[in-house]
Structure 1
Amino acid sequence: MEKNMKRLGPVVLLLTLAVATTSAGDIARFANLGFSPDSRVFLFGQYGITHPEGNPFAEIYAVNVPDNVFLPKGVQSRTFSRTLSGGQDGSGALYTLLPLFQPLIGQHQIDHLSQGRIIYLFIDGESDPQPRVSFRDFRTGTSYTLDLVQEARGRGADGSAAFHLNLQARYSDGTTLEQQVGRPTLFREGVNRYRIGRVIVSPDNTSLVVVMERITDIAGGRRIRYMVETVRLR
């Protein structure tokens, strides 16, 4: 028994360190909730546990992909005033909120299994990417470059920041698309900077969903929330 406990010691230590690392700050988890059959509507959410209160929260958004705007009644958010037991990640808040979207999900026939393809992914723990990221969709042969242009004012929760993206797409036939995405004059309160988290190609290969991380420096770490910008390619 004592021998087994000695073997478990390093494992327990590693798990403790992992929990401590994960709990540092207030980092939401992104949830891809699927597209409509024509890829014109995208549903996504985020969930987590607030810091330092420890309350579970969730937000769900329905996006008109061609117009890059939310659908009417396409935004729901809620923070629950209860404390979770250890080991929970707040996903229960998302499951509780999702039924409120059933009329919209039915109207647009959102398929939770139709999530498109990730063609760029920032792995947390790596150094922050450069303002310019380049990647390729090997299925379609299209190459992409995204330039992130941002401006910040103030610091911490009292700060604000705005951004836009300059997109260049080069198709396999040699033609190109250049487009500015985002609102460069919209300074979002409580945001210090932005980061490109992932890029998703719609199931019909006609649109991009760029998942942006909104980052705020707080005591004990960072607060990260998500938003998306959508681009029609064809």
Structure 2
Amino acid sequence: MAKRIITAILCICICTFLTAGDAAAFVDLGFSKDNRVYMFAQHGSADKTWRGFAEIYSVDIAQNDYIDSGCFKIPASAQTEGVNGVVLYERLFEKNAAYIKKQAPVPADLAHTLYIKNKDKAAVEEIVFTDFEGSTKDNPVLFYIKLVPWFSGKTASSKSSFFISVERRDKTGKVLSKQAAGTPDIKRTGVIEYTIEKIMRSSDGKSLVFIVEKKTQTDAGMSVRYMVETLIVK
């Protein structure tokens, strides 16, 4: 278990989007052994107060919803002031090791990592890649992915929402399927930008997981956190 934690922390240092200020580090824990659950974590320190926090989430892929019994948190508080988020993540992981071991999450390998955002990609720019699961040599199929946001404004009190349009098209451009990931009815306060950072496919090929970065304007400044949207491919 300790080896697993060290590996996860190394992945954080190498592969995540950690920046100065109130920006969380993202941890890709991965898909459960039955591909029904996706797990991730995030940790960091609240800007200005330097109060550490750590969170572990489990997502029911078919329902695109959090599993209450599989979500664990150490919130930023006076007790975590000056404590590094990595240390808190270690504690949270160890405390809930039995649940995590039961899920046995494994990150998507390179073959199932479909997209990783580069720094030049705009937040709402369309993402296109090959659907290797649904393609043949004579008829390649492409995914067309686009995040569609809505904002009432871009202040600490404004509301926002989004959904992700997911289309599969053949080589002639014919739409084979059209779906949407996300819940646009949910209105979030203070979020001023959503960006797809990563897209993965489960090893059984049945589902997609979208890692979404959200930037929130608060009275204390800018906050960066992560959320996940999931979709069963039809």
For Structure 1 versus Structure 2, the TM-score category normalised by the shorter chain is 0.7 to 0.9
After TM superposition, the structure 1 = structure 2 runs for residues 70-149 of structure 1, keeping only pairs within 5 Å, are 70-80=66-76, 81-84=80-83, 90-108=85-103, 110-111=104-105, 113-116=106-109, 117-123=112-118, 125-126=119-120, 128-137=122-131, 141=135, 142-149=141-148
Residue of structure 1 aligned with 2:22, choices 26, 32, 41: 26
**Contact 2:133–2:205 (Cα < 8 Å) also in 1:** no
**Cα shift readout 1:32-81 (whole Å, capped 9, x = no counterpart):** 11221121111101111210111221111101112211123122222352
Question: Which residue of structure 2 aligns with residue 17 of structure 1?
Answer: none
Contact 2:124/2:195 (CA < 8 Å) preserved in 1? Answer: no
Q: Output the TM-score relative to the length of structure 1.
A: 0.76
Q: Is the 8 A contact 1:131 1:149 kept in 2?
A: no
Shift of 1:156: 3.2
Distance 1:191 1:182 in 2: 15
Residues 150-194 of structure 1 deviation map (CA, whole Å, 9 limit, x = unaligned)? 11124332222101111112479x983211111112111231221
Q: CA RMSD in A?
A: 2.7
Mapped to 2, the partners of 1:165 and 1:218 lie a distance apart of 25
The whole-number CA distance in structure 2 between the counterparts of 1:139 and 1:219 is 46
CA, structure 1 residues 114+183, in 2 after alignment: closer, same or farther (shift >3 Å)? closer
Quickly say closer, same or farther: Cα 1:153–1:77, change in 2 above 3 A: farther
Contact 1:114 1:203 in 2 (8 A): no
Among the aligned pairs, what percent are the same residue?
28
Question: Where has structure 1 moved over 6 Å in runs of 4 or more?
Answer: none
- Structure 2, gaps ≥5 residues long: 1-17, 136-140
Q: For residues 178 and 62 of structure 2, what CA distance do their matches in structure 1 show?
A: 16
Give the corresponding residue for 1:5.
none
Q: Partners of 2:148 and 2:39 in 1: how far apart?
A: 26
Q: What secondary structure sits across from 1:157 in the alignment? A: coil
Would the alpha carbon gap of residues 22 and 220 (structure 1) be closer, same or farther in structure 2, given more than 3 Å must change?
Answer: farther
Q: Which runs of 5+ in 1 are unaligned?
A: 1-20
- Cα deviation code 1:97-154 (max 9, x no counterpart): 113433432443x23x44343211113x435344422223557755211121111124
Shift of 1:229: 0.6
Aligned counterpart, 2:6: none
Distance 2:200 2:210 in 1: 6
Distance of 1:70 and 1:130 partners within structure 2 = 25
Whole-angstrom distance in 1 between the partners of 2:123 and 2:223? 18
Structure 1 residues 1-234: aligned runs within 5 Å: 22-23=19-20, 25-80=21-76, 81-84=80-83, 90-108=85-103, 110-111=104-105, 113-116=106-109, 117-123=112-118, 125-126=119-120, 128-137=122-131, 141=135, 142-170=141-169, 176-217=176-217, 222-233=222-233
Aligned equivalents of 1:68 and 1:192: distance in 2? Answer: 23
